[in-house]
Amino acid sequence: MDRGYIFVNKSHLVSNLNYLSDLTKKELCLVVKANAYGHGIQWTVKTAEEAGISWFAVASVNEAIQVRNISKGARILLLAEPSKSQIKNVLKNEIDLTVYNEEFIDELINVEGNLNVHLKVDTGMHRIGCEPENFDKLMEKIQTSSLNLVGICTHFPTADTDEQYTQSALNLFKALISGHDTDGLLLHVDNSASSFYNSDDSFNMTRIGLAAYGTQISIKNYDHNLMPTMEIKTRISNLQKRNKGDAVSYGKSFELERDSTIATAPIGYGDGYPWNSFPDGHVLVNNKICKLIGRVTMDQILIDVTDIEVKVDDEVTVLGKSENGQHEITVTDIAQWNKTIEWEILTNMSRRLERIEIE
């Protein structure tokens, strides 16, 4: 092991997808944007396809092309309108488009070729989506044009924090589509969080992101049978003895309170390991919890290993369980140390960390 490695667990991803499929009783659209939440888009798409997933959602045309190069048969949903210059690539790679702006829809109507679209309505996120009062007009415009309407969708902004607001958004969506014939259309509103409590069978597809990758969703009173799909490990690359009062790392950010043994491990914010993990963060070395000391640097972290037996090349667990299973560092732990969210931790993991598949 030269630097750090991300171990992606195939059986855990398959287990999560099967569990979520059974839970929702709907077709799953796996969100693989941002390099499949840091897991590696190629590995994720191949594994998910083997598990029966046919729909994949992405944030850019370039991501969609990556999925198409991996799978010729995948259904690919672009979650936002692309630039007009990308329409040729959309057609060439058979990408389904999310649409919501009338001007853009008019542009698409004049394009030669078969374009599949999903009309998105804004029910409270106020980011993208057509205004509710324009929904009927855009539905008619699409359905009387050469465009192929495949689905209708929305996105919940508070699915993991405010179920009442989510229910209001759901009610608005249902009211909007009630005046239209939706037979044969994909109706998708749920994300990972709402999929745990929205059992409404009016909808037939669920967009799953974070939950598929085994990160627990912060919803009270809901049990989750999810298994983490990512572990991050590195190694001890250097050991040194330092004296009480010595300062370590940039900015003299930590002063030793005792004579100490300090280990260096080759992983840092250049790999996506967050800069703010000190002072609250720790790693696992030889089944022991070991505190980070001093600022995380671009390529390395410093670890207090004074109280354990350790040697150069011993394994360091940055994310995951200790070998004896007694300790675990979760994505949520790292997010809390850094006062951020799990999504940011996963998607920031650099391609400098090699992804290795394990069963």
How many angstroms separate the CA atoms of 102 and 120, rounded?
12
**Burial, 94: exposed, middle or buried (Cβ in 10 Å; 0-12, 13-18, 19+)?**
middle
Q: How many CB atoms lie within 10 A of CB 312?
A: 11
Residue for token digits 């670890």?
Answer: 303
CATH of 230-358, one of 3.40.630.10, 1.10.1740.10, 3.20.20.140, 2.40.37.10: 2.40.37.10
- CATH topology agreement for domains 10-213 and 230-358: no
Lookup: tokens for 264:
């260096």
Assess contact for 95 and 76: CB atoms under 8 A: yes
When pLDDT is averaged across residues 72-93 and rounded to a whole number, the result is 98
Instruction: List pLDDT tens digits, range 222-262.
Output: 667 899 999 999 999 999 999 999 999 999 999 999 999 99
Instruction: Name residues whose C-beta falls within 8 Å of residue 355's C-beta, 6 or more positions apart in sequence.
Output: 5, 6, 7, 8, 39, 40, 43
Reply yes or no on whether 19 is catalytic. Answer: no
Domain residue spans of the chain: 10-213, 230-358
**Burial, 345: exposed, middle or buried (Cβ in 10 Å; 0-12, 13-18, 19+)?**
buried
Reply yes or no on whether 250 is catalytic. Answer: yes
pLDDT at position 219: 61
Is 3.20.20.10 the CATH number for 10-213?
Answer: yes
Catalytic one of 33, 37, 100, 273:
33
Residue 221 pLDDT > 70, yes or no? no
Categorize the per-residue pLDDT at 160 as very low, low, confident or very high, splitting at 50, 70 and 90: confident
Query: How far does Cα 163 stand from its chain's mean position?
Result: 21
Catalytic one of 25, 92, 250, 252:
250
- The model's pTM is 0.95
Residue 198 pLDDT > 90, yes or no? no
238-242 and 260-265 beta bridge pairing: antiparallel
Residue 217 pLDDT > 80, yes or no? no
pLDDT at position 264: 99
Instruction: List pLDDT tens digits, range 267-319.
Output: 999 999 999 999 999 999 999 999 999 999 999 999 999 999 999 999 999 99
pLDDT at position 225: 85
Residue 105 pLDDT > 80, yes or no? yes
pLDDT at position 163: 86
